[in-house]
A and B are shown apart, each in its own frame.
Chain A
Amino acid sequence: MLSRRSFVSLFLAAGALLALAARAEEAPDAFIMRISTDVLDAVKADKSIQTGDVQKVIALVDAKVMPSVNFRRMTASAVGRFWRQATPEQQQRLQEEFKTLLIRTYSGALTQVKDQTVDLKPMRSKPEDDDVVVRTEVRGKGDPVQLDYRLEKTANGWKIYDVNVLGVWLVQNYRNSFAQEIGASGVDGLIAKLAEKNKAAAGKP
């Protein structure tokens, strides 16, 4: 017979499983709204982020945003047809450097947050779709900024794999630059270039 304690822990485990399942069932727009609000609230609550403490923003992005991003897919689509020619080590390095680059960009944008709010725009996909675009508008002073996300459904819930700012898909926008670099000096050349870029930016105040 189950002891009282093991019964309780079984109950708790079942509850956790249910919560996980509920998260996987979460609608993509609700998922984006949850993350956006979460991040905006955290930024607004933290004065040191608004004054430009980049390390703090990076920590925030790492904790709240990165778990919801499919970074492997992001990097692979930016690298395009050269991805399969890269060795697993090269793929790993590309992923790390690209991640650093994008986190820094995103963090820079977050330090500009003041009184912004996020509005969802109507979904155009069907509820059963597992690859969708969620459209949002960031409202603050001035014109609203279009901010859209491409999401894929995975076993671990929704994952973001591209972001659109004002009509420009960010990952897609790197494709030509990456191909140009690989064409000139190979995959290792691209890795070196990304690393150099990150190093230069990290050296700045």
Chain B
Amino acid sequence: MTGDFHPAWRRWVMALLLLASAGCATVPPGTTQRQQIDPFEAWNRKVFAFNETLDDALLKPVASVYVEIVPPLARRGIGNFYANLADAWSAVNMLLQGKPVTAAEGAFRFSVNTVFGFGGVLDVASEMGYGRNYGDFGQTLGIWGMDAGAYLMWPLIGPSTMRESLALPLNYAASPMYLFHLSFAGQFGVWALQLVNTRASLLGMGSLLDDIALDKYTFVRDAYLQRRRSLLGDSDEPPAPDPSQDDPEAAPATAPKPEPAQ
């Protein structure tokens, strides 16, 4: 990884910092929790719809053809190759998060797979019992105490938050697209292959999301935010209270009065 900070990124980070500070500005009274986590909902929904259209029209058909042409073993190898590079970045982040043992395990995993797994195409380390510990820079920022901030939907990239977006350039710098010093076309190729390979692995899920979600946008947003929170720690969120217990004694009289539905 080279040390120079691309001017385009500097602009990106500046813009995000501005956005983030706008998002962190005092919350006007009367805003619901929903508006707080997703103040840009109207815009995000448009981007989400765009991504959905793009998936239907381009990504999914391409992934379907890809599955026909590329045999499963090769797809798996390609997936492993990308995952191995991500493992190296995970290890760096574990170190940044103050988990040297996990970082060392990750580094070991990466070395074993790179050397004995032909550059990461085979996941030898998993066979040896060294599981993967996922980490990225957005998670590191969270561990350092930064709030997730507002939910953001990016074109092509998908769900994100202010914090994850700040981490995007750095995560990108650690990705194969950047590490291999490829031309723009080369970077696009490496990125596109990863995208199609990942999408292909999700084809089996079919329309699962459409079937279970009442509102796909909300479902995806909440799942994403929960998943990102779960990456921050081993502590579980407390279970929701059980409203089916109609015991007036159990329900404290001081419980906040429910707001009337809008």
Contact = CB atoms under 8 A, between A and B. Distances in A.
Contacts of A186: 261
B246 interface: yes
Contact of A177 (B204, B213, B229): B213
A143 B239 CA distance: 27
A182 B226 CA distance: 22
A182 B215 CA distance: 13
A73 interface: yes
A176 interface: yes
Nearest to A70: B244
A201 B206 CA distance: 12
Given A72-B244, A176-B34, A176-B218, A197 B211 contact: yes
A105 B206 CA distance: 11
Nearest to B223: A168
Interface stretch (B88-96, B110-118, B230-238): B230-238
A43 interface: no
Interface string A96-116: 000001101100110010000
Contact of B223 (A109, A173, A181, A183): A173
A162 B219 CA distance: 16
Interface residues on A, range: 35 or more
Given A131-B239, A150-B239, A177-B214, A82 B261 contact: yes
Interface in A159-182: 161-162, 166-169, 171-182
A72 B243 CA distance: 9
Interface of B: 34, 76, 79, 131-132, 204, 206, 208, 211-215, 218-219, 221-223, 226-227, 229-231, 236-237, 239-244, 246, 258, 261-262
Given A83-B244, A172-B226, 19 more contacts: A76-B243, A76-B244, A77-B240, A77-B243, A84-B243, A105-B212, A108-B208, A108-B211, A131-B239, A143-B132, A166-B227, A168-B226, A169-B237, A171-B240, A173-B223, A174-B219, A178-B214, A186-B261, A193-B214
A177 to B, nearest CB: 4
A113 B229 CA distance: 28
A176 B32 CA distance: 12
Contacts of B223: 168, 173
Contacts of A193: 214
Contact of A162 (B213, B218, B231, B239): B239
A32 interface: no
A183 B262 contact: yes
A83 B243 CA distance: 7
A168 B211 contact: no
A31 to B, nearest CB: 18
A133 interface: yes
Contacts of A79: 243
Contacts of A143: 132
Nearest to A196: B214
A167 B231 contact: yes
Contacts of A81: 243, 258
A75 B221 CA distance: 21
